[in-house]
Structure 1
Amino acid sequence: MRFGVALAAFAATLPYQVNSSGPVSTVAITVDAERQYQTIDGFGISEAFQRANAVKTGLSVEERGKALDLLFSDENGAGLTILRNGIGSSASYSRDWMKSIAPTSPPSSNSTLKYEWDGDDAGQVWMTKEAMKRGLKTVYANAWSAPAYMKTNNQDSNGGRICGVPGANCSTGDWRQPFANYLVQLVRFYKEKEGIDITHLGWLNEPDLNQTYASMLSDGFQAADFLKILHPTLTREGFGHVKIVCCEATGWQDGEDLLYELQTSPGAEEMLSVYSSHGYSVNPALPLRTSRKVWQTEWADLNGKWNPAWDNLGKEGEGITWANKIHSALTLSNISGFLYWIGAARTPNNDALVQVMNGTVTPSGRLWAFAGFSRFVKPGATRVDARSSVGWVKVSAFVNADGALVVVVINNGPDDLEAEIDVKRYTSKKDIVTPFITDNANQGTKGEELRTSGDDGNLKVVASVKRRSMTSFVL
């Protein structure tokens, strides 16, 4: 009874709802391949705060390979294509801190920083290289904070602001340019020492919160001020191709407020390639008002105990819950990138997609929710129009750069359905559709191939869609 009431309330909030007053046996799905929306950059995770080391040093060679494959392999896992590395700011690797590449505090902002590079970066160098072997496309380096000596509170934790941005003065001087140089030096170390191209660079993480771990405050006005120093510094140092990301607010509403403030500074928004926000305090359910690409760069179930289920009791951490969250962010907020907080970690909670405990690797239903998108919808894909005749059946569609069409169907209902998929204005060289099914019994399992019918440019296929499932149809 509780499930039925919840389902009815959930379905009532969804668009394109018909036939929802009683049981249905079929769902009509319409895809228009020429009605296009955002370009997809990918799906990903972070292994910051030494989580990469837990995979690198805490597992046997076999289990380590399994964890990497689950995260980054198209054949054996989710095929994730974005890795968000943390840029260190702490004086050491104590606890799970991220160590600064210039840990020694100089007397003033006019002093020369003493850089150090250990070739490991808390396991992130190794993790990045292993992920690239498996198809990783995007390496996003993101600072949670500047080093303590560059901030108003002289700590890399507990908030504080960059010395020199509006309203933040320090006796040691203006640290904006040294911090920009610091970020560029990190990019240089990865390129020149490790052969890794950092593709995206950011310097804030939840700047609306004061945290006991590495954290730094900023409003949108201050972000715009620093952006106008970082952007020309990258260009001057030969890294103008690196895309700048900002501003990583805690939730979608906070992100909208920061964006508005940043946009008041002429020219600042144009220096960005990606505007980013997190999904914690307010979920992504509306598009942000920006001409830049939008990423949701961190979100997780931080409260639930480890739950690997796809669909059990409708809990926050279950796989089908996250399949719906990703779908909503893609279709309602037009995001181009969606990242979970942690990929693999030694954790008793749901903050990771893969649990690493006692030398054993265990995937969650959340991982397979990501896989339903990320294995098939690749960087450069374009989201196209897709509609469902049944409110609790969510559908999204994408055309990859190679022309392959992917239709993702999430059946939140209690019954199996027959899906009649009608694809308009799309020409395929093949008449075969392959379904990949995820539910309580399947983890991206390849189903029986289906043949299309219809005229050229107007294809049709009839397929079974299991109850409480996610099916990725690949044409």
Structure 2
Amino acid sequence: MPEPTMQRAPRPDVIVAASRPRSRPFAYAVIGLLSVVVAVSIVLGVVGPDPDPSASVWLTSADGAHRLDRQPDVRLLPSTGPATGQGVLRVEPDRRFQVMEGVGAALTDSSTYLIDTRLSPPERRRLMRSLFDRDAGAGLSFLRQPIGASDFSRAAVTYDDVPAGQRDPRLRRFSVARDEEHVLPLLRQARALNPELRVMATPWTAPAWMRTGDTLSGSSGGPLRPEDTAAFAAYLAAYARAYADGGVPVDLISPLNEPLAPPGNHPAMPMTAQQEAAVIAALGPALRAAGLSTRIAVSDQNWDFGSYALQVLSDPAAAPWIAGIASHCYGGDPSAQAVLRGQAPTLAQYVTECSSGSWSKGFGDSLRWSAQNMVIGATRNGAATVAYWNVALDETGGPKLGGCPSCRGLVTIDRRSGKVTYSPEYYALGQLAKVTEPGAVRVDTASPGPGGLQNVAFVNPDGSRALVAYNPGTVPAAVTVDDGRVSFAARVPPGAMASFSWPGRRLAAASAASGVPTAPRPVPGHPGPGGALAGAQNRVRVMPLGDSLVDGFVTSGGWRTQLWHRLVQNDGEPVVFVGSQRGGPPDLGDQREEGHPGWRLDALQRQAAAWVGSARPDVVLLMAGTNDINEGASAQQAAARLDALLGTILAARPGVAVLVSTLVPMHNGHDATWAAFNAAIPGVVAARRAAGADVSVVDLSSMVGPEHYVDGLHPDQAGYNALGDAWYAAVRPVVHRLRDAAAAASGPRMSASTVAVSACCTDTAPALAADGLPGTRWTSGYPQEPGMWLQADLRAPTPVSGVDLDAGPSVGDQPRGYVVRVSVDGTTWRTVATRGDDGPRAAVSFPPVTARYVRVQLTVAVSDHWWSVADLTVHTAP
């Protein structure tokens, strides 16, 4: 059986450290048709562990000469800076959109029958690797499975068929045993090849006995009987439960495929929006009663049927259970998703079905349509999934019961010879799946790019960047891709798709010059980033406060990114950043801050009481005064404003430690005033210390040289990294001092051996929140909703005084609103704390109370994020 050409190039000796369990090469370039020149930005000696960092490239050309071909590795070039214009395509990792859930198709009954019966075992294994293995093949990560028969089945059956005229309302005859012949074994094999694979399930029809016409036919079966709405919901939940028990969890389910499609003789069923809402209102509770975290998508029909989804969403009983809107490609265009997103911004958008066929005009035309409408068009308009229809069909477009007369699968399997032919759609999906994985976040780019280059970009969970581009022109498109840190230049052939993957911010943040390793490590004499309830540390709350140098002008996050990487990610210090606003790149694990561009010291002073009182910091990192000097204030005026600001901070949070920085040099004509203000700062601090305040000076006046300024006031990335290193040296001893004092005051933490953890919902084991391992987590498995809870059983009544929550690396998976409740007997509960969005790492303290059970319970719904807890800490009172 011929395989798709995906030659493996030799890997460089050292690649940026990644957290994924499986290797993922980062570097390639197209030679000949696609030339790429690349290099890394080396600033202030900031060099990652790989002395020769590189980017990866895959290419599919319009003539089919290149088909998802991996190209030789090439080096990266420095960023070209903030310049834009012709020839520059900017990737903006700080501008984030939807989270990707997968790329794929459907292993229908027809597909699995062909794969199982027309291929020898070695050929079958080869095909499955080509489909689902990210190293050897396309790496498909999403499957939409029919629940029972569809138009691409060999028989019109469901999982609860009874003789005509009979009924089975209690589902006593329900069974998925028939799927053990072909479907389930191949699904399990796909999951083994790609453990990140996600599965959606959709029925084409209810069992005949639930329909008014007592048949499965779309033309004569009629709609669902209203009295069988609950039975149909139970049927769908039973399927999801049976598949989960069979080793194939169902992540997403929709009530019906194409409920408004014209009737045909194949299995199908009509359903109004009101009927679908009623099914969803019954299905949500049925799934939860079955112990499942399966989410529900609405509509599951063409792009131009958006009004149907909105009608269902208007039903108050159905709306709380709906996680997203599913669309097909057969009518309308991807821009309809953006319209729906504007009307339902909290719901995910899914593209769940599309098919090509005999109507296609050739390889290049099919590649163009897939690139423009599915891979790029759908994702740029918010799609979290991109899925075609059948994985495999035969040379006649079957086996089938009706429906599409000339559709083709991602692959065609000749019934007689067993020859496998890969379609243009396979290669188009592979161009996306090769460089992204579930959990990737789409980020902004210029669109269309220079020369009309159409594109979409992502940041993967490990921080690596991905770009998929298509050149619709008739001449090569020359482009420089720049993410603000590194860049590469390329010529993309006309009609070709090219995919790029390159290391993310961790490459620069892990500085060999500064001695920072690329992965978290324990610090001798200090506990590493351990699990909660297992001797986890007290969290120290740090507030970065000041002006644009804190927020990060030129480079989002500024010095906070370098500080967080060194202090938290690498050293494992128990620190959480706090503040009323967020800012920074995706790899800045704590984005909370109080950096206010353009604000003077007196403006900060007027708001400081509210900020500090609300966030309750243990440490304030104060860096301000530049705007005062720049706007003409004298050194004495600025010093008086600084003293007033310190007074407000100390009054709002008695006992807080404040680290006051001197100003970095100003190269704009105010040098003398700058120097005088810096000279006055130690005196202001000394007076406060004499009054008993915990205030100290951090001298930054010589940390940034003139070559590292972009405008006379703001550093470049090298300068920000130097400031982050200086803050790290000053903050770390304070963190140790405060942590040790808090530990002595609060008493011991509960150990994993004496605590049992349980949860409302168990996509992963609750014990993972208390196993002492920073790389593991408990997660809810479906979007946050009020009432979700995670609970610690201390096994005996114990005085407790606080709870820490750490969402770990799962960006956005922290609660937006929650309460902490305690109980002695597990029946009578008392609320001891009510909180909002505390960011990914929260430290909650409350007056000591005796309790055996400590429960964190959500109060706010978040439709686009699950709830994840990597570490749960319960603090006992002294």
Normalised to the residue count of structure 2, the TM-score between the two structures is: 0.43
Asked if 1:296 corresponds to 2:296, the answer is no
Asked if 1:37 corresponds to 2:97, the answer is yes
Distance change >3 Å, CA 403–CA 460, structure 1 → 2: same
Asked if 1:147 corresponds to 2:200, the answer is no
RMSD of the TM alignment (CA)? 2.3
Equivalent residue for 1:208? Answer: 260
2:497 partner letter: M
Match of 1:102, SS? coil
Normalised to the residue count of structure 1, the TM-score between the two structures is: 0.78
Match of 1:297, SS? strand
Asked if 1:252 corresponds to 2:303, the answer is yes
Task: Return the offset for 1:30.
Answer: 1.1
1:277 partner letter: S
Task: Return the offset for 1:327.
Answer: 3.7
Identity, % of aligned positions: 24
Which of these residues, 403, 409, 428, is aligned with residue 352 of structure 1? 409
Equivalent residue for 1:96? Answer: 154
Question: Does structure 1 retain, via aligned residues, the 8 Å contact 2:475–2:493?
Answer: yes
Cα displacement string for residues 165-189 of structure 1 (whole angstroms, at most 9, x for unaligned residues): xxxxxxxxx1111111211221222
Cα displacement string for residues 273-314 of structure 1 (whole angstroms, at most 9, x for unaligned residues): 221011102222231232211111111124427x7x542xx3
Stretches of structure 2 lacking an aligned partner (at least 5 in a row): 1-85, 397-405, 503-878
Match of 1:273, SS? strand
Task: Return the offset for 1:63.
Answer: 2.0
Equivalent residue for 1:120? Answer: 179
Distance change >3 Å, CA 38–CA 162, structure 1 → 2: same
Matches within 5 A, 1:263-302: 263-286=313-336, 287=338, 288=340, 289-290=343-344, 291-302=346-357
**Matches of 2:176 and 2:124, distance apart in 1:** 25
Which of these residues, 483, 490, 493, is aligned with residue 463 of structure 1? 490
Task: Return the offset for 1:412.
Answer: 1.5
Task: Return the offset for 1:120.
Answer: 2.8
Equivalent residue for 1:199? Answer: 251
Match of 1:336, SS? strand
Question: Does structure 2 retain, via aligned residues, the 8 Å contact 1:87–1:98?
Answer: no
Equivalent residue for 2:390? Answer: 342
Cα displacement string for residues 344-367 of structure 1 (whole angstroms, at most 9, x for unaligned residues): 221345521111113111112221
Distance change >3 Å, CA 147–CA 365, structure 1 → 2: same
1:323 partner letter: A
Asked if 1:176 corresponds to 2:229, the answer is yes
Match of 1:265, SS? coil
**Matches of 2:356 and 2:172, distance apart in 1:** 39
1:474 partner letter: S
Question: Does structure 1 retain, via aligned residues, the 8 Å contact 2:259–2:271?
Answer: yes
**Matches of 1:369 and 1:264, distance apart in 2:** 36
Match of 1:270, SS? helix
Distance change >3 Å, CA 94–CA 294, structure 1 → 2: closer
Match of 2:435, SS? coil
Distance change >3 Å, CA 224–CA 108, structure 1 → 2: same
Question: Does structure 1 retain, via aligned residues, the 8 Å contact 2:355–2:389?
Answer: yes
Task: Return the offset for 1:331.
Answer: 4.5
Which of these residues, 409, 415, 419, is aligned with residue 475 of structure 2? 415
**Matches of 1:51 and 1:77, distance apart in 2:** 18
Question: Does structure 1 retain, via aligned residues, the 8 Å contact 2:348–2:384?
Answer: yes
Matches within 5 A, 1:215-234: 215-234=268-287
Select between 330-339 and 99-108 the one with higher mean Cα deviation: 99-108
Stretches of structure 1 lacking an aligned partner (at least 5 in a row): 1-25, 165-173, 425-457
Larger radius of gyration: 2
Question: Does structure 2 retain, via aligned residues, the 8 Å contact 1:109–1:175?
Answer: no
Distance change >3 Å, CA 206–CA 28, structure 1 → 2: same
Cα displacement string for residues 194-235 of structure 1 (whole angstroms, at most 9, x for unaligned residues): 222222222301110122211111122211111101111111
Cα displacement string for residues 54-91 of structure 1 (whole angstroms, at most 9, x for unaligned residues): 1111111222122212221212322111111111159x
The structure whose RCO (Cα within 8 Å, separation 6+) is larger is 1
Question: Does structure 1 retain, via aligned residues, the 8 Å contact 2:255–2:280?
Answer: no
1:465 partner letter: V
Runs of 4+ in 1 over 6 A off after TM superposition: none
Distance change >3 Å, CA 244–CA 125, structure 1 → 2: same
Equivalent residue for 1:322? Answer: 370
Task: Return the offset for 1:110.
Answer: 4.9
**Matches of 1:328 and 1:363, distance apart in 2:** 21
Which of these residues, 29, 36, 54, is aligned with residue 114 of structure 2? 54
**Matches of 1:340 and 1:180, distance apart in 2:** 26
1:392 partner letter: G
Cα displacement string for residues 27-46 of structure 1 (whole angstroms, at most 9, x for unaligned residues): 32111110111111111101
Question: Does structure 2 retain, via aligned residues, the 8 Å contact 1:67–1:354?
Answer: no
**Matches of 2:139 and 2:279, distance apart in 1:** 35
Cα displacement string for residues 101-120 of structure 1 (whole angstroms, at most 9, x for unaligned residues): 21114734656532234253
Question: Does structure 1 retain, via aligned residues, the 8 Å contact 2:376–2:456?
Answer: no
